[in-house]
Structure 1
């Protein structure tokens, strides 16, 4: 029963991810759908990609076809499946910046 439920959840996730149907793998993102979504929301590259910790210039390269690193790809997948919201990403960013490099070193991270 557990395997059936996992398969059902995976199928639902695959239908919602911004991934081309013929390329279902964690590292392949359908760039056209990302661009379409970003433009539909009337967001600049800077604003859209910043929520994933990516600069405008790097986001532009991703949209042009550069490989998207796994962590960013995972965040995109979570974002497009509405598992992670803008608020969640904002809180995570604030938390990271509140720690700062000095506190990470002093805490042994």
Structure 2
């Protein structure tokens, strides 16, 4: 896939030619917005799980003030992180392939 993108870049901008500024800026804006959306898609479930964990720990701290939440939260956060990696790891391959196809389509021509 990387070699295909490199070959397309040589077709779009042959060596020795000077690409125009509007073409470059349009490509940079499209690539930047695609990367932002991809990052949000990848991180949204994990951020939601950690937000839920923090809310549960905050409620637990208010209910049981004698409990040391800092001491309890670290193993829970590590465990939740490992669980989320285990759950979402099979989906990463398809997501990366889809993102690579999208980046390949952003090149002109």
TM-score category by the smaller chain?
under 0.3
The structure, 1 or 2, with the larger RCO (C-alpha pairs under 8 Å, 6+ apart) is: 2
Larger-Rg structure: 2
Q: TM-score, normalised by structure 1?
A: 0.26
TM-score, with length taken from structure 2: 0.26
